[in-house]
Homo-oligomer: A and B are copies of this chain.
């Protein structure tokens, strides 16, 4: 496989930290996102790749927003996020580019 599993892990970790920072339980987030608790758990542990709609709903339930930005702008955005919000780690650092394996 590839970076996919790592990406899911990063997403799940991101969600988990945001959830704990918000003081919510898995069930609460799952309910807010409109999914079941076992499924939210799979997402948080990186065991499942949620759908785009589920991803958006979970993110919003946690006070986050999913954005698609040009890769060239990622560093600038990370710099914008790093100093202030210490709870969130930016999403991903595109190691290389473009396609997958």
Does B92 contact A52, Cβ atoms closer than 8 Å? no
Contact A34 B99 (CB under 8 A): yes
The CA of A86 and the CA of B52, in the complex, are separated in Å by 24
Q: Looking across the interface, which residue of chain B has its beta carbon closest to that of A79?
A: B80
**Contacts A33-B99, A33-B100, A51-B50 given; does A68 touch B66 at CB 8 Å:** yes
Number of this chain's copies in the assembly equals: 2
Chain B residue contacts of A59, Cβ below 8 A: 68
Question: Shortest Cβ distance from A100 into chain B, in angstroms?
Answer: 5
Docked Cα-Cα span, A64 to B98, in Å, equals 8
Inter-chain contacts of A64 with B (CB < 8 A): 68-71
Assess whether B68 is in contact with A68, with CB atoms less than 8 Å apart. Answer: no
**Chain B residues near A20 (CB-CB < 8 A):** none
Q: Report A's interface with B, CB cutoff 8 A.
A: 4, 7-8, 11, 14-15, 31-34, 49-57, 59-61, 63-74, 76-77, 80-81, 85-88, 90-92, 94, 97-101
